Amino acid sequence: MKSVRFHEHGNLDVLKYEDAPEPKIAANEVLVKVRASALNHLDLWLRRGVASWKLFLPHIVGSDIAGEVVEVGSVVKRVKDGDRVLLSPGISCGQCEQCFKGLDSACRSYTLFGVLVDGGYAEYVKSPEMNVIPIPGDLSFDEAAAVPLVSVTAWHMLMTRAQLRPGEDVLVMAAGSGVGSVAIQIAKLVSARVIAVAGTDAKLEKARALGADEVINHRQQSIAKEVKRVTDGRGVDVVMDHVGAAVWDDCFESLATYGRFVTCGTTSGEEAKLNLRVLYGRQRTLQGSFMGGKGELVEVLKFIGQRRVRAVIDSAFPLREAAMAQKKMEDRDLFGKILLHP
């Protein structure tokens, strides 16, 4: 099958469009013909190399996958040939205490498509039956590939971790990212007020179209000052971020008393300085968030199937141009998800 793999870690030029062996399924697995896959920032980290994750090389990344079932293993019961499906990105054992509690991403054997197993930058991918979910509503393959990872991430951050409540104010950093564009919509579902942050007016206009009530252009305005202005000096109840070091001070300063800061990433750097006196004095909470459970994905997919939360697609590239697609992501020249078509 055609695939995009890398044989060594490095820059964009390590991505090779080439033949790879077609995956062989086990009795409890399903073979999916990939019709669309989506990029995530994770793909860039993995290509460059993450010290704590030892990948098998050559390696195929890609955590968001939609396609058609073309073969099922002998003990597979629920899924059949021809089904239109998306894959839940997180793979866990399904039989430990954390998995039983729905805390899939806390499972000790947790991984994602494209991390310790091959992912979606290919014509075919194999999946445990447990990860195969029917495409909800009348979503296209493109729309279905655009939603899984960012939807479960944003849902887990806002609903499960930060426990966002109706009427609260939420600051969505990097509103043009995949997770940001979904977070705006989830926050509006629960009638929160959304303040969206991005670096261009074009992105902020799109954020408004998704429901953002207020917008901040971080290249022209001070985030913390604007938040204070919009909230009459009070600050926001929730800050959701994955930018990290470059915006940490602004994020922390923007929090109201009892505010919650929730993060799922550090694209600009991971070291931050914290004033503990302000943390306790203002009774703030810092929360880490990583992916979410299959149950949470199914929950948010209901709204996506009803088109009350919609997939935000930036662009699509043929699989062979995966390096160009990743460059677009590196340049932050995007609003929503970038897709690949094998």
Q: How many residues bind Zn ion (CB under 5 A)?
A: 5
Contacts with 132 (C-beta within 8 Å, 6 or more apart), sequence order: 30, 32, 69, 78, 79, 83, 85, 87, 88
Rank residues 111 and 268 by Cβ distance to Zn ion and give the closer one: 111
Which stretch in 49-57, 103-111, 251-259, 291-299 sits in contact with Zn ion by CB under 5 A?
A: 103-111
The minimum distance between CB 22 and Zn ion, in angstroms, equals 28
Contact map string, positions 107 to 136, toward Zn ion, x by CB under 5 A:
x-----------------------------
Q: Answer yes or no whether residue 96 interacts with Zn ion by CB under 5 A.
A: yes
* Total length of the chain: 342
Omega cis (within 30) before 166: no
The minimum distance between CB 127 and Zn ion, in angstroms, equals 17
Contacts with 140 (C-beta within 8 Å, 6 or more apart), sequence order: none
Query: According to CB under 5 A, which one of 46, 65, 79, 99 is a site residue for Zn ion?
Result: 99
Query: According to CB under 5 A, which one of 44, 70, 93, 286 is a site residue for Zn ion?
Result: 93
The minimum distance between CB 109 and Zn ion, in angstroms, equals 6
Q: Answer yes or no whether residue 198 interacts with Zn ion by CB under 5 A.
A: no
Radius of gyration of the chain (CA): 20
Q: Answer yes or no whether residue 92 interacts with Zn ion by CB under 5 A.
A: yes
Q: Answer yes or no whether residue 149 interacts with Zn ion by CB under 5 A.
A: no
Cβ neighbours of 261 (radius 10 Å)? 22
Q: Answer yes or no whether residue 291 interacts with Zn ion by CB under 5 A.
A: no
Which stretch in 19-27, 83-91, 97-105, 180-188 sits in contact with Zn ion by CB under 5 A?
A: 97-105
Closest residue to Zn ion in the complex (CB)? 107
Binding positions for Zn ion, rule: CB under 5 A: 92-93, 96, 99, 107
